[in-house]
Amino acid sequence: MGEASTGGAERCYVGGRWVAAASGATREVVCAVTEEPFAAVADGGAADVDAAVAAAAGAFEAWAATPPLKRAAHVAALGTRLTERMDEIGALVAREVGTPIGAATLIQVGLPAWVAATTAEVAAAYPFAETVGSSLVLREPAGVAACLTPWNYPLHQAMCKVAAALVAGCTVVLKPSEVAPLSALALARAAEAVGLPAGVLNVVTGGPAAGEALVAHPGVDVVSFTGSTPVGRRVAGVAAGALKRLSLELSGKSAAVVLDDADLGEAVASVVRQAMLNGGQTCIAWTRLLVPRALHDEAADRAAEVASALVVGDPRDPATEVGPLATAAQRDRVRARIVAGEAEGARRVCGGTAPPPGLDRGFYVAPTVFAGVDNRTHLAREEIFGPVLAVIPHDGDDHAAAVANDSPYGLHGAVFSGDRARAEAVARRLRTGRVDIGNAAFNPYAPFGGFKQSGTGRELGRFGIDAFVELKSVQRP
């Protein structure tokens, strides 16, 4: 279990020290493949949050006074350290979350390392001080930042927040999901290894009680949360009591719009693979496939063919393309939504509730595709967070944009067309925080976040740093 393992359980990292929970309690971490515990962590609570916030507050003044480029160098070093431990951390995430080992290594670890590097790079040009007319405008660290992260991309979501907060000059208390806490502790060990000053980054593991105590804590100045919209509402309500700065990255039900001049086979294959990435446990998954009505049946058949061909299995096997879901509760919820989708009248063309052949053990759900989905149904409107795709017909560009926008969410989307200008015209009409034109590459410099019930605020690049600074105007004669 590494340097932090004591008494069989990983400890919290507070003030540069590895400490047990004040209560002495621990919490098991369950393997998504075997359904058995394979690790344990401290089950932190309010007392541990108090200690972590105190450590962060104590370290704040010195860290805020550290030159931005020096802060950025620490963040870059964190990314380098994670890269050195990529295989080890990737294997942990594969067991916690069920991500196939290839993606667990390249995405779950490689991507956050890249985010650390790009955030550090952006800091060199970030306008911490600028002249506006006769005034000096300063962007100063907001204070102690509470960062609360989910289980689906545990290290990536942590780094999106921690890197920006540290570059901004904030000190941090990170509270990872109790489902997948081990990579957050790996991040703490990386901070220790690169010499990040004590108290600048603190990690408290535990359940919802620890998260609520952290959001409500009077010593916390800014809250950054990633998770479901229902929990985000609760976080917003608690943070509002003290008028804390708040960023929320929440649920999605993203639409991939295929226009009639697109390469249908290529577009459908791309959407299916993106929707099934990480077992569908991706907030930006394209879970609604909008296709021209005349091509609907062909698109549904193609989607079923691609989904059925995906290799489902043990995420530790390099051949696996779709692993198990992270928890039994999530598996059961997804299977229930599949049953409800059929009851609503959608036609299931592959997958279903039965475990994939030979996989009776583990939190598996077969890649599932529904055809003829009505955009007004729960299947099309609720975030399922599993390997389930809804194929929905549209009647041209105007109708496609209207259907895509007819959602309570607005996190991601895509447009596939043989005409880039046409695709961009449709993309501009989509009420969503990010839109890909075809298979566009991920850009860690561009802002990431959502419209509507997908949240508030943005992460990544200079936009992510904005979330952790306060503006001060110094009026000069």
Active site residues: 249, 283
SS3 letters for the chain? Answer: CCCCEECCEECEEECCEEECCCCCCEEEEECCCCCCEEEEEECECHHHHHHHHHHHHHHHHHHHHCCHHHHHHHHHHHHHHHHHCHHHHHHHHHHHHCCCHHHHHHHHHHHHHHHHHHHHHHHCCCCCEEEECCEEEEEEECCEEEEECCCCCHHHHHHHHHHHHHHHCCEEEEECCCCCCHHHHHHHHHHHHCCCCCCCEEECCECHHHHHHHHHCCCCCEEEEECCHHHHHHHHHHHHCCCCEEEEECCCCCEEEECCCCCHHHHHHHHHHHHHHHHHCCCCCCCEEEEEHHHHHHHHHHHHHHHHHCCECCCCCCCCCECCCCCHHHHHHHHHHHHHHHHCCCEEEEEECCCCCCCCCCCCCEEEEEECCCCCCHHHHCCCCCCEEEEEEECCHHHHHHHHHCCCEECCEEEECCCHHHHHHHHHHCCCCCCEECCCCCCCCCCECCEECCEECCECHHHHHHCCEEEEEEECC
